[in-house]
Structure 1
Amino acid sequence: MPWYYNGPTWLMPLTMAIGMAVFWGGLVTVVVLVLRRYGPQHRSSGAEQVLAERLARGEIDDKEYTRLRDILRTH
């Protein structure tokens, strides 16, 4: 080894740790955002789910269900 090589300094492990934290933090953030965007809970709104439950219980008929669903989707 040349005489001017002092070995790894404290800066190398620090930059590696910061780089790994940024990488894993970014990866976890991307996964969470994708799951929030395309997860099963976003396929229908909460109001539409309540409306579907009311239809299933027989509280409203088909015509009322479609009318209310269309109102919800336009707003």
Structure 2
Amino acid sequence: MMFWYGHGVSGWGWFAVSAGMIVFWALIITLAVMLFRYLNSPREDTHAHTTAASTPEDILRKRLARGEIDEEEYRHRLSTLHAGPLSKT
């Protein structure tokens, strides 16, 4: 008779264990879904406008088209590029 009254878990204890188990599995499933979505999401290239295939002339043309530089500065920089590297004297 002592077993039934002194050593059992009450109704609130069963509720707490059940609710805790539901919360635990909900967190595990949520983390798994978030990890799956993160690993399968497309990545944006942060350097898309200056790829390795872009030449200096292409970059200058794009800057002129975006309005970052005016035509005079474009021509000056373009002639500097075509003149070659500066020599140190």
What is the TM-score normalised by the length of structure 2?
0.42
Structure 1 or 2, whichever has the larger Rg, is 2
Q: Larger relative contact order (C-alpha < 8 A, sep ≥ 6)?
A: 1
What is the TM-score normalised by the length of structure 1?
0.48
Q: Quick check: which one's helix share is greater?
A: 1
